[in-house]
Amino acid sequence: MSDFFGDDFTAELKSYFLDSLVKEVDKFSDLTDENLWRRIRGEVAEQARSWAVDARTNEFSFLAPWLEGFDEKSEHIQSASELLKALKTLKSYAEALLLEKSDSVDLATRFALNSQNLREVLLLHCRSGQQEFAIPILSVIEISPRLPLYSLPDRQSGILGVVPFRGEAVPVVNLQDHGFAQVESDSRFYVICEQQGVRFSLQVTGTEELISLKETELQNIENHSHMMSADFIRQFFIKDSRSIMVLDLEKLVAA
């Protein structure tokens, strides 16, 4: 394990490198579309080699080889959506390094990139009363059943309140404000998530299992008028004859 905090100056350099990496990955993501993805893929692979040099200079023992291997891994990318997924994985890896403050084999394994997982989606299956939904596991930090919920002095639309988590007051998304049914239950869990550097929580009545899907199993919700309508719900999948919504957490944070 490579500890960030040998001294304050070293920690500042490492944090600066990771912050810059996240911002540059975002720029590539913004430029990636169906017309440009092949060119962007080549530019990302070239840039990854430069990032790898900087990662080794900053003593990221596991991030550096991940970046060095991106060129080979990127050859398996066959669409804009796969490239975006690879970029999102890299961004999530860098954000996890900023959060965990150490470069470990566990993180490198968690964010491993290969031709198989580019075409698969790993989701956490959740319930809010009778409604089912799923969220990308890469955005989940922790699931906790025992957190006190505190109300805000002035009610904000879309926010149920805050819960304490690792010294922070984390806002809880009010799913009912976004069209979910009201739930009366004493059994509540909090799924702590992080997206684009923003922490928030989802209040659920249960978390069931991890579901691995092929990307081709996801269906666009716009083609099914009977499905719930919300800006942050664009896809769903079928499980045991039931339709399960997939939350787009980037859109949810922006909502």
Separation between Cα atoms, residue 57 and residue 186, nearest integer Å: 51
**Bridge partners of residue 202, in order along the sequence:** 173, 191
Q: What is the pLDDT of residue 6?
A: 59
Question: What is the predicted pLDDT for the residue at 2?
Answer: 47
| pLDDT at 1 (0 to 100) | 41
Q: How much is the pLDDT for 228?
A: 66
Residue 216: its pLDDT value, please?
80
Write down the pLDDT at residue 187.
80
| Per-residue pLDDT at 212 | 82
pLDDT tens-digit profile, the chain (255 residues): 445 555 677 888 999 999 999 999 999 999 999 999 999 999 999 999 999 999 999 999 889 989 988 877 888 888 898 899 899 899 989 998 998 888 887 788 788 877 556 667 888 999 998 889 999 888 888 888 888 999 988 878 889 999 999 889 999 998 888 888 888 777 888 999 988 788 999 999 988 788 888 778 888 887 665 666 677 888 889 988 888 999 988 888 876
Q: Which of 38, 191, 190, 218 is nearest to 122 (CA)?
A: 218
How high is the pLDDT of residue 224?
A: 62
Give the pLDDT score at 99. 85
